[in-house]
A and B are shown apart, each in its own frame.
Chain A
Amino acid sequence: MEDKQLNSTESLELIQRMITQTRTNMEQGSGTIFLIWGYTTILVAIVTNLLVYYTQNPYFFWGWFANPVIGWSAMNLYLRKREKPVRTFVDRVISITWVVIGIAAALVPLMQFIKSSTGAFVIPTEALILSIGVLITGAVIRFTQLIVGGGISMILSFVLYTTNLTYINVTIVFMAMFIVSMIIPGHILNYRGKRCSKS
């Protein structure tokens, strides 16, 4: 591109082209964070449950705390490696949303220990908080799969509050929620990003 003068039509076309190209570039790789959290949560859920089931030792429920540790570490590593040469208002909104969601999600299990309760509220509350995060993100980036996934997860989290499922069944529902709200939309987002970068 040179420092040449443009006519009116060329100027408007250039403005439109630059804005469109910037928007396309921003979409690349944005699903990876959902995949990190989705797969980490499912992995932690499976390992924690197997340990509790086979040992009958409730102390293995502490295994849930591995979720924020692994998730935050993997996310930080990814964000450091990922080239993010452009920052948008949407980035800031999503970032603030997930910091708040992350703090809330980390504090909820602590309540179980402070109040010495049975912890029955922990999984539905965690699910509800995370569903809200997914729903807000979907609405902000206008991505239907995230909105639908977040909405389904939110409904399922209320189902978890109101039914008396066994711990194993609750965990299965919890895992299904992560597949619907994070893993499937995450893969679709990344696929769309790759397709946009090729075209």
Chain B
Amino acid sequence: MFKELDPLLHSELRLAIVSILAGVESADFSYIKGITKATSGNLSVQIDKLEKVGYISITKGFKGKVPNTSCALTETGKDALSKYIEALRSFLPNI
């Protein structure tokens, strides 16, 4: 039986953000932007959506004199990614 895919994670950019954060404690906005090659505006919108549902947490600060935004995956986000991968497996039983 197919499990339902989380619509919030079933988008290329949001899934990429969550996947990057899954392997680290936190990552800067510029780092995520570099890997995903998304525009700043689009990335901001998607990060905002993920923060609103509690999948990621955002810390704003400064690195030297430059403003810096750091993102981290929350426990809710980790659970959501884990369930998402489990649901994907139900669609692809051979893996």
Chain A interface residue count: which class? 20 to 34
How far, in whole Å, are A92 and B15 apart by their CA atoms in the complex? 25
**Cβ of B25 and Cβ of A8 under 8 Å apart?**
no
How far, in whole Å, are A75 and B37 apart by their CA atoms in the complex? 32
**Cβ of B24 and Cβ of A88 under 8 Å apart?**
yes
Tell me the minimal C-beta distance from B38 to chain A in angstroms. Answer: 5
**Cβ of B11 and Cβ of A15 under 8 Å apart?**
no
Chain B at the A interface: SS class: helix
**Cβ of B92 and Cβ of A12 under 8 Å apart?**
yes
How far, in whole Å, are A24 and B76 apart by their CA atoms in the complex? 26
**Cβ of A19 and Cβ of B25 under 8 Å apart?**
no
How far, in whole Å, are A18 and B9 apart by their CA atoms in the complex? 14
Nearest chain B residue, comparing its CB with the CB of A80: B64
**Cβ of A86 and Cβ of B92 under 8 Å apart?**
no
A-to-B contact residues, CB < 8 Å: 1-6, 8-12, 14-15, 18-19, 21-23, 25-26, 80, 85-89, 91-92
Known: A4-B11, A19-B23, A87-B27. 5 other contacts (CB 8 A): A1-B16, A10-B12, A18-B20, A25-B35, A88-B25
B-to-A contact residues, CB < 8 Å: 10-16, 19-20, 22-28, 30-31, 34-38, 42, 46, 64, 84-85, 88, 91-92, 95
